[in-house]
Amino acid sequence: MGEDEATQLLDEIKQIPTWQRWRTGKELGKRLRLTNGERQRMKLYSIWPYNMSAADLRRQRSRKQRERMRRLRELRGAKSREQWLAENSKSREKPWEKDGVSKRTWYYRRAKALKDMDDWQRNAKLPDERLH
């Protein structure tokens, strides 16, 4: 293309209103044949990759969001499901079967014992407190 042709083409383009020259992210992705890997590497998140559908992008965003939230919960001190179950597995151990009672009775007795222990601790006074 010669210089005169290029100038003429630019003049024609400049005469087209801006809103008609504007391209969507999807159109740009198709024209540039931008793959998702290139898009992420260059951080061109406003341009859609040509090799992914809208549903694929939604799934990718959801997966990334889930991972970000998991890391945030971990930073805040939350335990993983496996760790929590390892520490809170009374139901899996079934201690009521060892005692020979029903599950409901075992939990009832346990709650009563914990309440009695709490009452005892609340009423217990140190020796020097009784003197005053």
Residue 19 confidence (pLDDT):
79
Q: pLDDT in tens for each of the 132 residues of the chain?
A: 788 888 988 888 888 888 777 888 998 899 889 999 999 999 988 999 999 999 999 999 999 999 999 999 999 999 888 888 888 777 778 888 988 999 999 889 989 888 887 777 766 655 555 444
Q: How many helices (H) and strands (E) does the chain have?
A: 10, 0
Which residues have a Cβ under 8 Å from the Cβ of 44 and sit 6 or more positions away?
34, 38
Residue 12 confidence (pLDDT):
86
Tokens of 82: 């496996």
φ and ψ at residue 24, rounded to 5 degrees = -80, 165
77 — alpha (psi -120 to 50), left (phi > 0) or beta? left
- For the whole prediction, is pTM greater than 0.85? no
Give the residue extent of every domain in the chain. Answer: 1-78, 80-132
Whether the Cβ atoms of residue 35 and residue 47 lie closer than 8 Å to each other: no
Distance of alpha carbon 61 from alpha carbon 56, whole angstroms: 9
Other CB atoms within a 10 A radius of the CB of residue 110 amount to 13
